[in-house]
Amino acid sequence: MAKITFISHDGAEQVVDIPTGWTVMQGAVQNGVDGIEGECGGSCACATCHCYVDESFAGSLPAPTQTEEEMLECTSSERKPNSRLSCQIKVTPELDGMTLHLPETQS
């Protein structure tokens, strides 16, 4: 289990407990985080679960796969160096306390 904080584009904060092994997207969708859509169901095919990872956790995540890299080119809001697709982030206990900023639009 890890506590993940989602901060929406307008600054609203939502803290969600996500079980280890789940993806961040799955945890967000299950808990009604509005700024994450996850249209494709978590298979890295739609880029609608885009998020910006807080700098302090940037080093804790494995690098994006080639597929994620390609999909990150398709995000609706600007891609930044800390952009990730939350369906590709597997929750581990080490991610407890991570903050994710959500983009203005997902699609």
Partner 1 sequence: MFRFDPYSPAVDADPFPFYKTLRDEYPCFWSEEANMWVLSRYDDIVTALNDWETYSSARGNLMDEMPNRAGATLGTTDPPRHDRLRGLVQFAFTKKAVEGLNEPVRASANRALDAIQGEKTFDFVSQFSSKVTVDVLFGLFNLPRENEKMVRDKAVLMVQSDPATRQKGPEHLAAFQWMSDYAKSLVELRKVEPGDDLITALINAEVDGEKLADREVQMTITTLIMAGIESLSGFLTMFAYNLADHPDARRQLVANPALVADAMEESLRYNTSAQRFRRCLQRDVELHGQVMRQGDFVCLAYGSGNRDDRRFPNAHIYDITRKPKGHLGFGGGVHACLGTAFARLASKVAFEELLKRVPDFTRVQDQLPWMSSTTFRSPTRLELAVG
Does position 32 bind partner 1 by CB under 8 A?
yes
Contact at 8 Å (CB) between 14 and 6?
yes
| Binding residues with partner 1: total (CB under 8 A) | 25
Q: How far apart are the first and last CA of the chain?
A: 29
Residue among 2, 4, 24, 47 that touches partner 1 (CB under 8 A): 47
Residues with Cβ within 8 Å of residue 103, at least 6 apart in sequence: 9, 35, 50, 51, 52, 75, 76, 77, 78
Instruction: Tell which residue, 26, 34, 24, has the closest CA to residue 4.
Output: 24
Does position 37 bind partner 1 by CB under 8 A?
yes
Residue among 3, 9, 30, 78 that touches partner 1 (CB under 8 A): 30
Residue among 1, 3, 17, 41 that touches partner 1 (CB under 8 A): 41
Given the rule CB under 8 A, which residues bind partner 1? 21-23, 26, 29-30, 32, 37-47, 65-67, 70-71, 74, 107
